Amino acid sequence: MAPAERLFSRWRDFLLTHSSSLRAQTMATIEVSGDGWAMVGDSAGLVDPITGEGLYYALRSAELCAEALLAHRPEDYELRLEEESFPS
């Protein structure tokens, strides 16, 4: 394997292992809420790893979280976030 290829491969492995950003697997590997707590935006890993965009996700996840709390259905937050981020 050429040095550049090896470097790219190591970088890709690093990102896949350590980044919790917007990929379909993200929602399967991170928890954004639990009993008495919830995370939004960067703290929830909601940042695009390529573009660095996070403002929209921060605001939208906060909105979804607030809606779920106001509806007294906190469990809806994670569900709606997943549906919206990765529509089937």
Ligand X SMILES: Cc1cc2nc3c(=O)[nH]c(=O)nc-3n(C[C@H](O)[C@H](O)[C@H](O)COP(=O)(O)OP(=O)(O)OC[C@H]3O[C@@H](n4cnc5c(N)ncnc54)[C@H](O)[C@@H]3O)c2cc1C
Q: What span, in angstroms and rounded, lies between the C-alpha atoms of 76 and 84?
A: 12
Shortest Å distance, C-beta 45 to ligand X: 10
- Nearest-Å Rg of the Cα atoms of the chain is 15
The interface region with ligand X, picked from 3-11, 23-31, 46-54, 80-88 by CB under 6 A, is 46-54
Strand, coil or helix: 17: helix
Provide, rounded to whole angstroms, the least separation between the CB of residue 50 and ligand X: 12
Contact 15, 40 (CB under 8 A): no
Is 64 a binding residue for ligand X by CB under 6 A? The answer is no
Given candidates 41, 45, 64, 80, which one binds ligand X under the rule CB under 6 A?
A: 41
Q: Assess 54 for contact with ligand X (CB under 6 A).
A: yes
In this chain, which stretch among 1-9, 54-62, 63-71, 76-84 interacts with ligand X, using CB under 6 A?
54-62
Instruction: Tally the residues of the chain.
Output: 88
Which residue matches tokens 């573009």?
Answer: 51
